[in-house]
Amino acid sequence: MNVAVCVKQIPDPAQPGRLDPQSHTLVRQGKLIMDDSDSYGVEMALQLADAAGGGEVTLVSMAPGGETSGLRTALAMGASKAVLVSDEALAGSDALSTAKVLAAAIRRLSPDLVVAATESTDGYTGTLPVQVAELLELPSVSFAKRVEVDGSTVRVNRQTEAGSDDVECPLPALVTVTAGVVEPRYPSFKGIMAAKNKPVEQLSLADLGLSPEEVGAAGARQEVISVAPAEERQAGEIVVDEGDAHERIVAFLDELKLI
Ligand SMILES: Cc1cc2nc3c(=O)[nH]c(=O)nc-3n(C[C@H](O)[C@H](O)[C@H](O)COP(=O)(O)OP(=O)(O)OC[C@H]3O[C@@H](n4cnc5c(N)ncnc54)[C@H](O)[C@@H]3O)c2cc1C
């Protein structure tokens, strides 16, 4: 079974993020790492390919500057190869433009299954995977807590507000996974060494048959108008117990309608 996994490469969350003062978008220069959310998708894909008795796991990413550091981590986990779309004309791409690019790259692979995370940890519109599915005319199942493939059917236990649903759909399909669907493995030393020589195909917009007008700032239908710093958290009120602390705390919780 061949599985394509979307892997978003993001600035290291350990470093404070910066916004470009003109475009108000995240500055994504320098080394990028694999978004932690996608390590679940990579692990899920590896386990499904194993359970099916073989097949390839191919990573698909769109990132600036020909960046492959995050992809190498996923290759070290065991994925066979990667496709990276990088093109200067992609700067300013909104979620739909990104979906168009990833859908075009995935179409060339004709996978049995496409796996993505439910949402990324930096941009997190949570809309990209379903847009990719729509563009590829594939059924999509979101918020997967458990995924099994049986022949040409994928069975998914998906998280809902009330609990969970069991659904199934025919392959090919797109599934988005939640953190906790599987426990991502740590890349082994052997895996890290092997990843250095695994193929990463770099594609431009022209390779995908897309024109610069459809993507990037030119094709974006969303625009960030302004940004403002988040309000600083106020210091909490300290209740000094003069015999009536419990009453004051209950009154406070009652005021907030928490009890
Ligand atoms: C108006 C606007 C302008 C923007 N301008 C820029 C810009 O100039 N430069 C820039 O770098 N970004 C820019 N972005 C963000 C960029 O387009 C995002 O990659 C895109 O919006 C999808 O990310 P998300 O976090 O919202 O995806 P979500 O829907 O939250 O992600 C869900 C999952 O989809 C997959 N996925 C998402 N993005 C990618 C990716 N790039 N490659 C592989 N898999 C992916 C991952 O599996 C991810 O976990 C802009 C966004 C907007 C709205």
Query: What pLDDT, in 10s, does the model give residues 34-69?
Result: 999 999 999 999 999 999 998 999 999 999 999 999
Give the residues surrounding ligand 1 with Cβ less than 6 Å away: 6-8, 23, 25, 28, 35, 37-38, 41, 61-62, 64, 91-95, 98, 102, 116-117, 119-120, 122-129, 220, 222-224
pTM of this structure = 0.89
Q: Which amino acid is at 229?
A: P
Q: Please check the confidence at residue 30 and state whether its pLDDT lies above 80.
A: no
Q: Read off the tokens for 216.
A: 């990037």
CA of 223, closest atom in ligand 1: 1
pLDDT at 176 > cutoff 90:
yes
Joined together, the tokens standing for residue 83 give: 């496709």
Q: Please tell me which residue, 60 or 238, carries the higher pLDDT value.
A: 60
Examine the pLDDT at 6 and tell me if it is beyond 80: yes
Residue-wise pLDDT for 216-227, tens only, equals 989 999 888 888
Residue 70 confidence class, pLDDT cut points 50, 70, 90:
very high
Per-residue pLDDT band for 202 (boundaries 50, 70, 90) equals: very high
Nearest protein CA to atom 20 of ligand 1, as residue: 95
* Rounded-to-integer distance, Cα 133 and Cα 61, Å: 16
pLDDT at residue 24 above 90? no
Q: How far is the CA of 234 from the centre of ligand 1 (A)?
A: 32
- H helix runs in the chain, sequence order: 36-51, 69-77, 95-107, 128-136, 189-195, 216-219, 245-255
pLDDT for the residue numbered 204: 97
pLDDT band at 255 (very low <50, low <70, confident <90, very high): very high
For strands 113-117 and 9-11, give the pairing: unpaired
Q: What is the pLDDT of residue 67?
A: 94
Q: How far apart are the first and last CA of the chain?
A: 52
Give the pLDDT band (50/70/90) at residue 27.
confident
